[in-house]
Amino acid sequence: MYQEHTNDREIVVMRSARSIRTSRSACLAVIVAIACQFVADIGGSPARAAESGNDAASAKPATHAETVLIPAPGMGTFGGTVDMHADLFKPDGPGPYPVLIFSHGRAPDRLARAGLKHPIQEWHVRYWLEHGVAVLAPVRVGYGETGGPDRENNGAIFDASGRCTSKPDYANVAMALNDATLTTINWVRSQPWADGNRIVLEGRSMGGFASVAAAASRPDGVVGYINFSGGAGGSPDRSPGHSCDPDQMREVMAEFGKRVTLPGLWLYARNDRYFGAEAPLGWYAAFAAGGSPAKLISVQEVPGRDGHLLLSYGQEFWLSDLDAFVKSLGL
């Protein structure tokens, strides 16, 4: 069973492992097939670098990827141009193709951020390619081969007891994220292989926050966005389940909710070690109160995993909702 609450502004779906199990006998073969492929793709890779997307193996994906460079003016250390490295995957057949822009998260560890190579997992790339959608996964400034200054440090600091001792600046982080996302959107719209009027934004963790922030800018050509476990200011080791100043993030999301007119899909798990159970619900409620069309999928838990890894390990809870959302966008 799951509960669905609907009004003019929002739809909230609550999911649990128990509710999924009640229907599992009807689709066991499908789930087993998905699970087997999923395990083959992700192997036993550690989840400690989830924010940056490195919970997947960092080897070159088997699905063919082109490496492209996206010029990012003004994002260098002294205001120069930095080339963002990006993985580009194209579906079979002639273009132009609709395009998914995938935004990675932010690992707490500096070395993990520097080691980011391929932001999106291969199985998820295949999902979009099977829908005829090209996938572009840029490595933002301050990460991986792109390098450059750390423009996304939100200023959250935790002491040894897990108490947040600073005042982060999430609005400033959103502006830095927007620089990267909007630059990428503009680049996509200039490419002959891309359908510049059918762009979807998707991100995980800070990348989910980036997708919401970009949607609030109302960029041309974007038809929808997907937010997996989006936010900032979490520290799963020092302060598991409690981010720094979640009320400030709620205020930022409330402002976004007044501006976003695009359809959106928000997905969180209540056993998220970065943000906890309640804060993301508050962020969504504040956002939806502004009138923006969005649907929230709230998963009770991702069994045996940090719920922050919902994208990687929670397919059974959200796959049908993602399918429906993609269909609603005409993809």
Domain presence at residue 319:
yes
Give the residue ranges of the chain where pLDDT is below 70: 1-62
Quick one: residue 46, left, alpha or beta (phi over 0 = left, psi -120 to 50 = alpha)? beta
How many Å apart are CA 56 and CA 46, to the nearest integer?
8
Q: Is residue 50 part of a domain?
A: no
pLDDT of residue 15: 56
In the sheet that holds 10-15, the strands lie side by side as: 3-6, 10-15, 294-299, 264-269, 222-228, 194-204, 97-103, 134-138, 82-89, 66-72
Degrees, nearest 5: CA angle 140-241-238: 75
**Taking a C-beta distance cutoff of 8 angstroms, is the pair 219, 185 a contact?**
yes
Q: CA–CA separation, 169 vs 327, rounded Å? A: 36
User: CB of 74 within 8 A of CB of 81?
Assistant: yes
CA angle 321, 322, 326 (to 5 degrees): 120
C-beta of residue 195 within 8 angstroms of C-beta of residue 100? no
Say what the pLDDT of residue 11 is: 56
Contact 32, 314 (CB under 8 A): no
Q: Mapping DSSP to helix (H, G, I), strand (E, B) and coil, where does residue 164 land? A: strand
Q: Are 131 and 96 in contact (CB under 8 A)?
A: no
CA 230 from chain center: how many Å?
6
Domain containing 60 equals 3-43+55-328
Whether the Cβ atoms of residue 168 and residue 233 lie closer than 8 Å to each other:
yes
Rounded Cα distance, 117 and 128, in Å: 20
Distance in angstroms (rounded) separating the CA atoms of residues 176 and 180: 7
Burial string for 56-88 (b: 16+ CB within 10 Å, else e) reads bbeeebeeebeeeebebeebeeeeeebbbbbbb
Q: Residues of 204-232 as b/e, b for ≥16 C-beta within 10 angstroms?
A: bbbbbbbbbbbbbbebebbbbbbbbbbbb
Q: How many helical (H) and strand (E) elements, i.e. helices and strands, does the chain have?
A: 10, 10
Q: What is the pLDDT of residue 17?
A: 53
DSSP for 271-330 reads T-TTTTTTHHHHHHHHHHHTT--EEEEEES--TTS-GGGHHHH-HHHHHHHHHHHHHHTT
Task: Say if 123 falls within a structural domain.
Answer: yes
Q: Which backbone phi and psi does 297 adopt, to 5 degrees?
A: -105, 115
pLDDT at site 257: 98
CA distances from residue 283 to 236, 246, 289, 324 in whole angstroms, order as listed? 19, 8, 10, 23
The CATH code of the domain that includes 123 is 3.40.50.1820
pLDDT, position 63: 74
pLDDT at 32: 34
The answer to whether residue 48 sits within a structural domain is no
Residue 275 lies in a domain: yes
49 in any annotated domain: no
122 is a domain residue: yes
Provide the pLDDT for residue 52: 53
Evaluated on CA atoms 256, 216, 51, 313, the torsion sign reads: positive
Give the total number of structural domains in the chain.
1
